[in-house]
Amino acid sequence: MAQEFEKEQWRSELVDAFRWEDEERARHLVATLGKARSREARATLEEMLESPDGKVRQAAVFALGELGGPTSTRRLEQQLVVEEARGDHDGSAVVQVITQALGQIKSASARAALVRKLNRIATGGPDQTDVNDLAYALWHKRHPDLIPAVRGAVQRIALPTSRALHALLRLLESSPEELSAWVEDRLVPLEDKTEVLTVLDEEVPTELESLIPSFISMARSIIDVAATQAGAENDFCERLFTLLLLHRERLFPAIPPEARSALRDVARRMVAAPEAIRSIGAAVTLEYVGQREDAKLLEAYRLQNDVLGKVFDDAACALRKTSTA
């Protein structure tokens, strides 16, 4: 009875962690029981995959992804077919988690499973969210062997649904030098560059850190428009802030002085933009590239909303502390 109670408690806590989007807690639960008593954990997860509750199935899928290995990969691909066949909201939500899990498992078999999914959806009329999730997962599995499959998919899936796959193909096919020239090419649509930034949100390989100054240079060249109205220019700058902040520990220290100065200028302009497009990301970015006098700018253009305004307050406070340290 004690063993059964422990299993039920583990299952309940895992589902609860997933419902509250507490991935750290969910990972800890998988690590503590799942690795030490893998057979029992997998048996419990197998039961969870049969649940009518989509959240329970999502939690099981997440745990299988954390356990990893060929057994998890095979089971996730089997469940992927089951969930796709459901054709409902819960099934779509589970598909999303399966795609993310396969993207995290470090094995050629997981990559092959994602390619099979890509080939499958390319023959129909896929949902853009499904295509985007798949592109992001494939970026985690990046390998030259993916190029033919991705190229084939972009030929069969029309724009704008395939935009993330186009971005993925650009990243897979191009050298860092070629990518840098592409980013700085004013003839390339901004929407394409913004989608590349979105794919890089998932992971920025060390060899692509050199792209960041090119993205900053492009942002600086369009800031007069980006800071005055909504549109492609504004979207590009916001995506750049998002990318930098997602990987702040690595990317900010690696930015060369000239690009750092340009980024500061872009962030200042976006902080002082009209309130409807005033940038939270720009305010936080100034914490990392700003100077003491930028604290006054942040206070002058603080958003009136208490929650969002606190972001500006915190950034201003951080600048004053670091400037006097």
Query: How does pLDDT run across 45-70, given as a tens digit for each residue?
Result: 999 999 999 999 999 999 999 988 89
The answer to the question of residue 35 being in a domain is no
- At 126-139, the pLDDT tens digits run 888 999 999 999 99
The answer to the question of residue 224 being in a domain is yes
pTM of the predicted structure, to 2 decimals: 0.88
- At 76-109, the pLDDT tens digits run 999 999 998 888 899 899 999 999 999 999 888 9
Domain that holds residue 195: 176-325
The answer to the question of residue 310 being in a domain is yes
Burial (Cβ within 10 Å: 0-12, 13-18, ≥19) of residue 1: exposed
The answer to the question of residue 92 being in a domain is no
- At 161-211, the pLDDT tens digits run 999 999 999 999 999 999 999 999 999 999 999 999 999 999 999 999 999
Q: Using an 8 Å Cβ cutoff, are 223 and 264 in contact?
A: no
The answer to the question of residue 268 being in a domain is yes
Residue 8, number of CB atoms within 10 A of its CB: 11
The answer to the question of residue 5 being in a domain is no
Domain total in the chain: 1
Please report which confidence band the pLDDT of residue 35 belongs to, taking 50, 70 and 90 as the band edges. low
The answer to the question of residue 152 being in a domain is no
Q: d(Cα 240, Cα 130) in Å, to the nearest integer?
A: 23
